[in-house]
Amino acid sequence: MRWITHIAIAALFIKLVEISLLVDLSSYYFWPIIALYAVMPDFDSIVGIKHRTYTHTIYAPFIAALPLIFNPLLFTAALTAYLSHIFADLLTPAGLHLLYPKPTVYHFLPAAWRIKTGSGGELILLAAVLLLTASFTLAASTTELDKIFYYHRSHDIWVDISFYENGVLKSFNHEKVVWTDRKSRIGIVENCKLKIIGKEQIISIKIVRMEPAERYEREMRTTMKRLRGMNYLVVAYSTDYGWVDFLGTGRDLFLRTFDGNWNEKVRVRVIRSTS
């Protein structure tokens, strides 16, 4: 296979792994590594190793990716790209000695379907791979939402998001997700107020940052003046009749309960994060 086909197949493999494992391997600094590992097996002749031998075995991808083990996501991306090269070469008439130096040659396709390098068959394969990758990419927003719903319990997540609200397209960059219903809605904070966005409103969404975090509920006492600028997610507030459930920021609660007394004390339960 030509290098462009190997890189295209690597991109498809990366997208499939992202969808399967609910991970993000599409960070901009990953792609030079992905492209490098997608063609790395063919460096064998450059370093004086017989072509399609040691660098094209089943164990070579793991050895090659091992220096990146300190970063699990980068390791996964590199390993996936290298394995995609092995898969692509299994489609060719020459096949591979996957257990080299054992002489057994392995193929993925029947003899009549094998694809010669530079042939029309390779062009058809390249077109099909690009089409599939584009299709999976168009579905990326759903995948990103699945990641958010899955990881929000244990991680703080920041996103770039575009969505429709009352017919108007809005976009936010590096916005923290402060709430999800784990099904179809997420919450972000805009101008100190909670904005809940339904899945059907979202045009595009991409996770740009994710950090492990533990969330806990904390009771605190504050004044109306401080409450007005509070970004914490409030889940309840105290009244003379007991605790009342609530969902919103401190400003949302301020707008609901303010009676003109800025120094009035209020007890609230907020969600905090350890990150």
Between CA 66 and CA 51 the distance in angstroms is 22
Average pLDDT over the chain, rounded to an integer: 90
Mean local confidence (pLDDT), 61-89: 94
Give the model's pLDDT for residue 159. Answer: 93
The predicted pLDDT at position 275 comes to 61
Give how far Cα 12 sits from Cα of 25, 80, 92, 187, 244, Å: 12, 10, 18, 31, 50
pLDDT of 20 over the 90 cut: no
- Contacts (Cβ under 8 Å, ≥6 apart) of 261: 224
Tell me: pLDDT of 33 over 80: yes
Q: What is the largest CA-CA distance in the chain?
A: 86
Q: Which CATH number fits domain 144-212: 3.40.1130, 1.20.58, 1.10.10, 2.30.30?
A: 2.30.30
The pLDDT value recorded for residue 118 is 87
Q: Which amino acid is at 74?
A: L
pLDDT digits (tens, 9 = 90+) for 126-165: 999 999 988 887 666 567 888 898 888 889 999 999 999 9
In this prediction, residue 140 carries a pLDDT of 60
pLDDT band at 256 (very low <50, low <70, confident <90, very high): very high
For the chain, the structural domain boundaries read 3-138, 144-212, 215-273
